[in-house]
Amino acid sequence: MFFKKILIAVDDTPPSQYAVDVGLAIAREDGSPVVFAVALDPTLTVTDCMFASIRELAEQLASEIIDRAMKQAAADGVTATSVTIFEDPVDGIIDLAKRERAGLIAMGTHGRIPIAGFVRSVADEVLRKTNTPLCVIRRPRRGKVYHRILVPVVDDQLSREGAAYAVDVARSFGSTLLFSTIPNGSHTLTPEGLLNLMKDYAGEHGVKAEGLVLKRQGAISGTIAMCARSEECDAIIMASHARDGLPRLIEGSVAETTIRSSDIPVVVVRR
Amino acid sequence: MASLRLPVLKPKEQQFAAADVRTVPQHGLVRLAIIVASVLALLVDGTASAIVNAGLPYVQGITTATPDQASWIITCFNAPYYATILVSPWLYAFLGRKPLLLIGLIGFAFVSILLSLTSSYSLLLVLRFFQGLFLGAVYVPAAILLFTSLPLAALTLAIPGFALVSLGAATMGSIIGGYLSENFSGYLIYLPGAATTLISAALVYFMAPNLDKPQPHLKHDVLGYFLSLLSFGAMWYLANEGERRNWFDDPSIYVAVVVLLIAFPLLLAWELYITRYPHINFRLFQRFRNLAVGGSINFFLGMAGYSVSLFILYLQTIIAATETLAGAMILLRLAAYVVGIAIAFLLVSRKILGLRTVIIIAAIGTSISFFIYAQTMTSTAEAASFIAISLVFGFFFSMLSQPVPSLVIGGLPLEQLPAGLSIYKVTSPIGLIVATAVFQTLYDHRTAIHAADLAGFVNRKSLEISSFLEGGGSQHGLSALVLQEAQNFALRDSMMVLGVLILVVIPLIFLANIAPRPPAQNK
């Protein structure tokens, strides 16, 4: 049991159903229990005189969503519990993951670019704040998860930590790792040297690994997503600085853009 | 001889229809289609009555109805419309939301098409009766369908969104009716509603799930329905005809008053104490104090809504604005509604201000706006001078209107939502009925008083009058000008009275129970 417990954030959107599918598939293979969490708008609890009926409606909807997920978990033979929280979804999910000591948060995303005050991406916000590994799913699951995992790396400490996490996952799930890098000339190791280092590390831990130097085509995230598709990978594991505020504006976030362009689950780990 | 003794039942001996307000998650286009269908249904419901009111002179022309007959065209619609709205929670439980909504929409569309083809006055009245009857069945299931189809993330916005649709529809109706009848034909005023309801019905039929189990065993309350029909009929007749017939100078007014005085108390007694199976749950007012407070506030908002009629009357009779321009001025209010509703909601939901504070600020703002309106309404004003005040009024009035549905329906348990919706829908028009009767009378009286005052100044010794007559002006023209000025003063007086009246909501809101909820326990 690698993850100990998986927290699956659910709501009434299609990507949430994809998250349930992927989360349960991982849980079944890992043997870990899952906890389904629905976050309801805390505004509904401001005062009974304004929102009692609407809160009841929201609870009814939450209960329908959870019932459906619990039935699916039972059919998959996965032990599941559920929680309904009246909190902002970002803080609520992060706090719950801590409380439940979850080893992984699985959640769906529409992949929309957030616009301050208008369009919100809960997945992006959770990614920036949580220390729990986050598995974000944008498209329906196809086949297995964690059978062949793409691990994009660069020559820095963060990537090494991400690679180490990927090796741990692969050892647990019997997966093959595909390390890939895009040459940018700013690091001491050559791309081939970096990939060999990663493969050796994986080999030392009994994990089968391959290496692939990618030629950048447009955005880095697009290149990673394209590689995942052409190499028939079923998950991407990558590390993120989880930058926020000004640094994020200047440097951007490859993890966030990869989530938005990938058709397969993206697992993001941060330091 | 055995005496007639009515059984007086205790509340627990009565059986109310319990509505099943269930929801299941919907996705993507299906959900969008259901939301569009329910919003369209609500828009038709909010505009249908006002469209025909605005086009009434044209309908009267088509059917060659006399002015004495014209108000029956309105009364024949409104009486079954409001009576059916009050019964619709029972119908909802009896049939389920989807069948009820489909019957209402298709029936309304069919009758509307027939109405657009008829030029017979008596047939028109029959069709108008059925049009009201069918449309009355639409509001409650459409609103419930809307609430139960929203995504989880948007549920918090359900009531503000609903407030916007309701307020917007009520405002748009007279503009649409005026525009259609002025630019096209009186026959056409029924067709936009018919087309919209058919689209809505098709979407509901193909997309909406049939979630509710019908309860065909529920007992009917025909007498209750008949009494509410009589009550609303008498109310509307008095509102439309009272002042026109100089109140008690006309025997028909006596008849209407007697009908109202008998039917309405009898309705209350019947539904509260006599029948075992009431259609209308008046006891909700007792059980939920906020429903009573919110309903009362909604009554005064309905009265304030009469300002639309007053302002249109001013624009058209005093400064001779076209119906299209008058419509544009009212549309300005609509633009401000969006901002006012959003701000009121954010202030309360983010706990920046309390519900009471928002309502008090909005009531004072609305009251001041009425006074500014009154000051700006001069016989020489340009329509453009009302742009700013229309926006300010729209902002405060919508701020005042937004928390009301929350207060009336938000605080109810889910099973009482249909009943709460029907009460919310009916309280505002009752305010409008009272305002119509009161302000028409007030307007006529104040016009007479101002005309008498002004006449005292009109004599040949006055330099302005003599130069007017020497400049080719006729005495007839002079008297028309005097009358117009008197009407203008009367309209300004009416606006100021509305400005004072709206302040009544301030003491009312202190009667509401708006204690904050204890912190939620996660489950």
Closest-CA distance, B428 to chain A, in angstroms, reads 19
Report the alpha-carbon distance of residue A155 to residue B319 in Å, rounded.
78
Question: Which residue of A11, A44, A53 is in closest CB contact with B413?
Answer: A53
Closest-CA distance, A132 to chain B, in angstroms, reads 21
Chain-chain contact of B409 with A53 (C-beta, under 8 angstroms): yes
Question: Which residue of A14, A58, A87 is in closest CB contact with B152?
Answer: A58
Chain-chain contact of A41 with B153 (C-beta, under 8 angstroms): yes
**Chain A residues within an 8 Å CB radius of B513:** 49
Dump pLDDT digits (tens) for B402-456: 888 888 888 888 888 999 999 889 999 999 999 999 999 999 999 999 999 988 8
According to the model, what pLDDT value does residue B419 have? 92
Dump pLDDT digits (tens) for A125-155: 898 888 899 999 998 877 777 789 999 988 8
Chain-chain contact of A57 with B159 (C-beta, under 8 angstroms): no
According to the model, what pLDDT value does residue B195 have? 95
B351 in contact with A, Cβ within 8 Å: yes
According to the model, what pLDDT value does residue B227 have? 97
Size of chain A, expressed as the number of residues it contains:
271
Report the residue of chain B nearest A60, measured CA to CA.
B23
The angle, 0 to 180 degrees and rounded to 10, between the axes of the packed helices B222-241 and B417-457 is 20
Average pLDDT, chain A: 87
Q: Which residue has the tokens 């009565």?
A: B14
Q: How would residue A187 be classed by pLDDT, with cut points 50, 70 and 90?
A: low
Q: Are strands A235-240 and A134-137 parallel, antiparallel or unpaired?
A: unpaired
DSSP H helical segments within B217-250, as ranges? 222-241
**Chain B residues within an 8 Å CB radius of A50:** 159, 348, 355, 403, 406-407, 410-411, 514
Low-confidence ranges of chain B (pLDDT < 50): 1, 519-520
Q: What are phi and psi of B163, to 5 degrees?
A: -60, -40
Burial of B197 (0-12, 13-18, 19+ CB in 10 A): buried
According to the model, what pLDDT value does residue B457 have? 82
**Chain A residues within an 8 Å CB radius of B152:** 11-12, 38, 40, 58, 61-62, 65
Of A181 and B179, more confident: A181
Q: Using the predicted structure, report yes or no on whether residue A62 has a pLDDT greater than 90.
A: yes
Closest-CA distance, B107 to chain A, in angstroms, reads 30
Question: Which residue of B24, B355, B417 is in closest CB contact with A53?
Answer: B417
Reference B72, options B228, B249, B233; nearest CA is B233
Q: Using the predicted structure, report yes or no on whether residue A235 has a pLDDT greater than 80.
A: yes
Report the alpha-carbon distance of residue A53 to residue A38 in Å, rounded.
18
Q: Which residue has the tokens 């340009």?
A: B382
Write a three-state SS string for B373-407.
HHHHCCCCCCHHHHHHHHHHHHHHHHHHHCHHHHH
Dump pLDDT digits (tens) for A243-264: 666 665 565 678 888 888 888 9
According to the model, what pLDDT value does residue B97 have? 93
CA within 13 Å, CB half, B362:
31
Chain-chain contact of A57 with B148 (C-beta, under 8 angstroms): yes
- Show Cβ contacts of residue B8 under 8 Å, excluding neighbours closer than 6 positions: B273, B274
Q: What's the token pair of residue A125?
A: 């916000």
According to the model, what pLDDT value does residue B516 have? 60
Dump pLDDT digits (tens) for A5-22: 999 999 998 999 999 999
Report the alpha-carbon distance of residue A30 to residue A144 in Å, rounded.
13
B29 in contact with A, Cβ within 8 Å: no
According to the model, what pLDDT value does residue B382 have? 84
According to the model, what pLDDT value does residue B27 have? 82
Reference B358, options B400, B295, B297; nearest CA is B400
Chain-chain contact of A46 with B519 (C-beta, under 8 angstroms): no
Report the alpha-carbon distance of residue B514 to residue A47 in Å, rounded.
7
Bridge partner list, A106: A8, A135
**Chain A residues within an 8 Å CB radius of B406:** 49-51
ipTM for this prediction: 0.81
Average pLDDT for A159-169: 91
DSSP letter for B153, please.
G
According to the model, what pLDDT value does residue B1 have? 46
According to the model, what pLDDT value does residue A117 have? 62
Report the alpha-carbon distance of residue A100 to residue A5 in Å, rounded.
8
Bridge partner list, A83: A37
Chain-chain contact of A38 with B522 (C-beta, under 8 angstroms): no
According to the model, what pLDDT value does residue B3 have? 56
